Amino acid sequence: MASSYRPFRPRAARVVTLTLAVVVLALTGLLLALLPTLNIGDQIGFVLVALLIAGFCWRQASVRASVDDEGVTVRNLVYTRRLEWAEIVSVRFGSGRPWVQLDLSDGDTLAVMGIQRADGQYAQAEARRLATLVAQHTATPRDD
Whether residue 26 is found in the same domain as residue 52: yes
Domain ranges, residue 116:
63-138
In a domain, 56, yes or no: yes
In a domain, 2, yes or no: no
Helix then strand count (H, E) for the chain reads 3, 6
Whether residue 71 is found in the same domain as residue 93: yes
Please state, in angstroms and rounded to a whole number, the distance separating the CA atoms of residues 36 and 123.
Answer: 46
Give the pLDDT of the chain (144 residues) as one tens digit per residue: 557 889 999 999 999 999 999 999 999 999 999 998 889 999 999 999 999 999 999 999 999 999 999 999 999 999 999 999 999 999 999 878 899 999 999 999 999 999 999 999 999 999 999 999 999 988 766 655
Whether residue 102 is found in the same domain as residue 45: no
Q: How many domains does the chain have?
A: 2
Please state, in angstroms and rounded to a whole number, the distance separating the CA atoms of residues 123 and 107.
Answer: 25
Q: How many residues does the chain have?
A: 144
Please state, in angstroms and rounded to a whole number, the distance separating the CA atoms of residues 108 and 110.
Answer: 7
Please state, in angstroms and rounded to a whole number, the distance separating the CA atoms of residues 75 and 60.
Answer: 10
In a domain, 3, yes or no: no
In a domain, 1, yes or no: no
Query: In one letter, which amino acid is 77?
Result: L
Query: In one letter, which amino acid is 91?
Result: V
| pTM score, whole prediction | 0.83
